[in-house]
Amino acid sequence: MRDSKRLAAQYLTMRRIRAFEDRAETMARDGKVTGAVHASVGQEGIAVGVCANLLPSDKITTTHRGHGHCIAKGTSPRAMMLELFGKAGGTSGGKGGSMHIADFSVGMLGANGVVADGLPIAVGAAQGEKLLGRDTVVCCFFGDGATNRGPFMEALNWAAVYRLPVLFVCENNSYASTTRTETVTAGPGPSARAESLGVPAFSVDGNDVAAVDELAGRLVREIRAGAGPKFIEARTYRLHGHTAADAGAYRDAREVEERWTSDPIARCAAELRRLGVPDSDITAMDEAAEREMADAVAIALAAPWPDPRTAFTDVQDVGAPV
């Protein structure tokens, strides 16, 4: 019997992510958000199901497609939207944009513009936490495309060798940019690669938030108890383009249409109804999510630009440009 309160909270977070992503993409197409936006529409269940099992003191790293992970870990969507607009008050003061959102106050150690570079950083964060005597779990999100870069192999090997408290989460959405990942990938896939490096791997339907929640909950408990690294391969699908500017012409329209029938948010709403949650509660959550993100956009539109002098701050202490 699934806990409807826990699931409802996860539904709300997924809806907030969706509402954020939809607006971020619209604002990118309107030219208000000037940099690339990689929305996680369709993949929200993974961010939410995993982060629901992390403590505020736990850490995460993510990728170019990281908005959902940030929101699920507790980063303020207002500060994130300001960052996308390049405005003062953004998570990085407007110096990073979508691909460099970080919020160290909630353990969000940074998105990354370089595919696979978050993995070594995550294992190092886990090693550092261990050295400092803390029982932190570090969770590292990355895409299927990242499994073809060397740091993927290095970091998994490293985590296994030092038995580090890392949860690797591969969001397998079948695409790396415009390329179907399987057409450029040998062997049976991410889980088999992880297993071959001594990291136990578990496959899950990433569009079933409750299933992700359950699996991640068990693995995070084991990792925190000292079991060493674990690997989740969450099967999912990127329902929108690679970026807001990508119409996705390389995909068959029927393929996308078919995948929309497995939208994790619609599936979660159906499950809530089945558990007896009234429609009015679900609608109220939808409205709250939309309102919150509409406010975030209004605030970002009205916000001032950063002080131009900050282009030269936080470069370095020794030999700084100003």
Ligand X SMILES: Cc1ncc(C[n+]2csc(CCOP(=O)(O)OP(=O)(O)O)c2C)c(N)n1
Partner from other proteins, Mg ion, ligand X, none binding residue 122, C-beta < 5-8 Å depending on class: other proteins
239: its two tokens: 């329902």
Binding residue (CB under 8 A) for other proteins from 104, 250, 260, 305: 104
Minimal distance, residue 102 CB to other proteins, in Å: 4
64 binds ligand X (CB under 6 A): yes
120: its two tokens: 């070594």
* 3-class DSSP state of 18: helix
**Max Cα-Cα span within the chain:** 62
Partner from Mg ion, ligand X, other proteins, none binding residue 65, C-beta < 5-8 Å depending on class: ligand X
86 binds other proteins (CB under 8 A): no
3-state secondary structure string across 118-169? HHHHHHHHHHHHHHCCCCCCEEEEEEHHHHHCHHHHHHHHHHHHCCCCEEEE
Neighbours of 33 (CB within 10 A): 24
DSSP 65: T
Minimal distance, residue 223 CB to ligand X, in Å: 23
Number of residues binding to ligand X, judged by CB under 6 A: 15
Helix 4-29 with 77-85: angle, nearest 10 deg:
10
Neighbours of 113 (CB within 10 A): 14
Binding residue (CB under 6 A) for ligand X from 10, 75, 91, 173: 173
- 132-151: contacts with ligand X (CB under 6 A): 143-146
Shorter beta-carbon distance to ligand X: residue 23 or 65: 65
- 139-158: contacts with other proteins (CB under 8 A): 150-151, 154-155, 157-158
314 binds other proteins (CB under 8 A): yes
Query: Cβ(168)–Cβ(160) under 8 Å?
Result: no
**What contacts 48, CB < 8 A, 6 or more positions away?**
10, 13, 14, 17, 68, 72, 209, 212, 213
Measure Cα distances from 53 to 72, 193, 220, 225, 264 in Å: 10, 25, 7, 14, 18
Shorter beta-carbon distance to ligand X: residue 78 or 242: 242
120 binds Mg ion (CB under 5 A): no
Partner from ligand X, Mg ion, other proteins, none binding residue 115, C-beta < 5-8 Å depending on class: ligand X
- 140-169: contacts with Mg ion (CB under 5 A): 143-145
DSSP 305: P
Shorter beta-carbon distance to ligand X: residue 34 or 310: 34
Residues that bind other proteins (CB under 8 A): 59, 61, 90-96, 100, 102-104, 109-110, 112-114, 117, 119-132, 136, 138, 150-151, 154-155, 157-158, 161-162, 313-319, 321
Given the rule CB under 5 A, which residues bind Mg ion?
Answer: 143-145, 173, 175-176
Could you list the residues that contact ligand X (CB under 6 A)?
A: 64-65, 113-115, 143-146, 173, 175-177, 238, 242
